[in-house]
Amino acid sequence: MLLDALLPKELSPEIIIHVGGVALLATVVFFETGIFFGFFLPGDSLLFTAGLLCESEWLTLSPLELIPLLILSATLGTAAGYFFGRWTGDFFSHRKENLFYRKRYVDVTQEYFDKHGMMAFVFGRFIPIVRTFLPILAGIAKIDVKKFWIYNLLGATLWVSTVVSAGYWLGRRFPQLVDNIGLIALVMIAISTLPVVISILRKKTTPSGQNAK
């Protein structure tokens, strides 16, 4: 199946929830939102699937119980990335590329922050890679801690509430969606990564020393 080829079964949203329940769900959200090697973990698709499965045999919590827990996980994960950045300084500027790190990830994130400023912590929550690397770059730049916490909490609240609620609402409106979680996950991954892909392609096609129009 296409899903098996593009999304490792062990990391698919439904497997994470079915196997680990709320504890593993919260842990994955924590790592995906600020720990640099967690960028490959599902984010938007995981939250959406959690919303779909709320109040079911796999996830007994209601959205009102689940959302605050995941907001806390996302906020703390981003905070961990921020303080990691403050502690390590220019860690990534000297780090060799490997399976978990590519310089273009940092470049894309830096470009996004330069464009949106602190609101990148709100808008960037909906973009994979950006939401993982942004807090680390913010820590390296030693952005004001008070401002960081405000925008961190605002972004986490908006991201988690919107995506989980959308999954829950659509799941109640169209119960058959539960039988197509794999396909839904692929669609969400494709949509959420599109801005990153476009940004990388633009950088590759822009002549050196010039800015993309």
Residue 133 within a domain: yes
Answer yes or no: are the C-beta atoms of 81 and 35 closer than 8 Å.
Answer: yes
Burial 169-200 (b: 16+ CB within 10 A, else e): eebeeeeebeeebbebbbebbeebeebbeebb
Cα Rg of the chain, angstroms: 17
Residue 2 within a domain: no
Res 195: pLDDT: 67
Res 97: pLDDT: 67
Number of domains present in the structure of the chain: 1
Helix 181-205 / helix 44-53 crossing angle, nearest 10 deg: 160
Res 122: pLDDT: 92
Residue 138 within a domain: yes
Res 3: pLDDT: 38
Res 32: pLDDT: 92
Residue 17 within a domain: yes
Residue 1 within a domain: no
Domain that holds residue 129: 10-205
Q: pLDDT 10s per residue in the chain (213 long)?
A: 333 344 456 567 878 888 889 999 999 999 999 888 887 888 898 999 999 999 988 899 999 999 999 999 999 999 999 999 888 876 666 667 665 566 777 778 888 888 888 999 999 899 888 898 899 889 988 889 999 999 999 999 999 999 999 999 998 998 888 777 777 777 776 776 676 666 666 666 665 445 443
Residue 211 within a domain: no
Residue 5 within a domain: no
Residue 36 within a domain: yes
